[in-house]
Amino acid sequence: MPKTGEIPSIESRGKALLIAGLAADKKADGVVILQMEGLTSFTDYFVICSGESTTQVRTIAEHIKEGLGARGLKPIGVEGLSNRMWVLIDCGDVIVHVFEADTRAFYELEKLWLDAPRLNWP
């Protein structure tokens, strides 16, 4: 139980599911959660999604940041908001990749991690 004034933590899986839901709120395409536990030493999950335009990419990324903030969770860092082709939100145990659709197709991040199990979510 958290102490008074302490921000309650959320486990990695729950955070990944929350982020996927926040992305879906803004109509993100192809939302995928990859389980990275045991495959990397730097994170437990990747959440990957895309938007049809750079405007939608920014909207998705900002909605994720705001949704996390509303729950007392602050990302360690955010990269790419200025060019909006690939926004990376580092939440430590969950790393979020919000791509513009053509950029996602070019990098094929899911193919780099083919052996990562996908987490089913609604």
* Residue 97 structural domain: 12-112
What's the pTM?
Answer: 0.90
Tens digit of each residue's pLDDT (9 = 90 or more) over 58-101: 999 999 999 999 999 999 999 999 999 999 999 999 999 999 99
> Is 97 a member of any domain?
yes
Total count of domains within the chain:
1
Look at residue 1 in the predicted model and tell me its pLDDT: 38
> Is 117 a member of any domain?
no
> Is 1 a member of any domain?
no
Tens digit of each residue's pLDDT (9 = 90 or more) over 11-43: 999 999 999 999 999 999 999 999 999 999 999
> Is 103 a member of any domain?
yes
* 3-state SS string for 43-94: CCEEEEEEECCHHHHHHHHHHHHHHHHHCCCCCCEEECCCCCCEEEEECCCE
Amino acid of residue 105: A
Q: Binning pLDDT at 50, 70 and 90, where does residue 4 land?
A: very low
> Is 121 a member of any domain?
no
> Is 27 a member of any domain?
yes
CB 60 within 8 A of CB 66: no
> Is 122 a member of any domain?
no
CATH number at residue 37: 3.30.460.10
> Is 66 a member of any domain?
yes
